[in-house]
């Protein structure tokens, strides 16, 4: 039996009811109801014990969704930072290194006219990440310190250090990106928890880096952990 189509927002294009449980991209001008629709869907999903994550730049939708969650959500913001440390992910060092490099590349591509990390930059970063993981130094601050203490390739090293400095120049961001008690995505999803990331006050670069880390962490759960039974997760990104 075909499912009926429903109209969303103020547009004229209907979608199948089940479409949003795969992938949905909502596009429209300001005031056309995109955030309101996300809030409505979030409210619906609160009736089910399903893991949920919201990434939101302005803070208004984040506050509304926290209220709809009746306080049963982890709320991460610059005022109340929660650790999302990529160095503490339960994955292979190669995978962790790739995730960090991809997050930095996303920042570069979306905010500057520069190319992605060069092969030499990527090699230095990879070496630093793997060294720190092998020596239980699971922090991007310690990765940066390791690169600063290397010899040679000054221009290349400075390119990496400057990017890490920009992301870590705020103690609140340090807690988010380098904290010890970091969210473990597999356990988070299995327990059906809820995370709201309020990016108000973050620069565009920090917002992109944080959002990419979260998306990568969630993807890697489904890609690498291979549990006996997969649990679903709803990921909402406002102003994507």
Whether the per-residue pLDDT at 177 is higher than 90: the answer is: yes
Neighbours of 171 (CB within 10 A): 9
- Asked if residue 34 lies in contact with residue 237, where contact means CB atoms within 8 angstroms, the answer is no
Q: What is the pLDDT of residue 3?
A: 46
Q: What is the C-alpha separation between 51 and 48, in angstroms, rounded?
A: 9
Q: What is the chain's percent helix, strand, coil content, to nearest 5?
A: 50, 10, 40
pLDDT in tens, 90-127: 888 999 999 999 999 998 888 877 778 889 999 999 99
- Asked if residue 17 lies in contact with residue 4, where contact means CB atoms within 8 angstroms, the answer is yes
pTM for this model (two decimals): 0.84
- In order of their start, the domains of the chain are 5-82+183-237 (3.40.50), 91-169 (no CATH)
Maximal CA-CA distance, the chain: 67
Place of tokens 């949920």: 52
């Amino acid at each position: 039996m075909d499912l009926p189509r429903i109209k969303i927002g103020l547009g004229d294009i209907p979608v199948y009811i089940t479409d949003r449980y795969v992938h949905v991209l909502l596009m429209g001008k300001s005031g056309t109801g995109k955030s309101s629709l996300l809030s409505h869907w979030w409210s619906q999903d609160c009736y089910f014990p399903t893991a949920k994550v919201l990434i939101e730049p302005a803070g208004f939708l984040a506050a509304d969704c926290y209220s709809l969650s009746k306080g049963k959500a982890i709320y991460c913001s610059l005022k109340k930072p929660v650790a999302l440390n990529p160095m503490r992910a339960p994955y292979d060092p190669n995978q962790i290194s790739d995730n960090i490099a991809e997050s930095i590349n996303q920042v570069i591509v979306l905010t500057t006219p520069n190319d992605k990390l060069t092969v030499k930059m990527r090699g230095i970063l990879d070496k630093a990440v793997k060294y720190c993981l092998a020596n239980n130094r699971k922090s991007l601050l310690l990765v940066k310190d390791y690169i600063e203490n290397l010899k040679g390739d000054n221009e290349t090293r400075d390119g990496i250090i400057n990017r890490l400095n920009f992301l870590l120049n705020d103690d609140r961001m340090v807690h988010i990106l380098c904290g010890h008690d970091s969210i473990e995505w597999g356990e988070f999803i299995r327990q059906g928890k809820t995370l709201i990331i309020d990016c108000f006050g973050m620069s565009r670069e920090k917002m992109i880096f944080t959002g990419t880390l979260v998306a990568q962490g969630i993807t890697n759960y489904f890609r690498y952990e291979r549990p006996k039974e997969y649990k679903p997760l709803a990921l909402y990104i406002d102003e994507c």
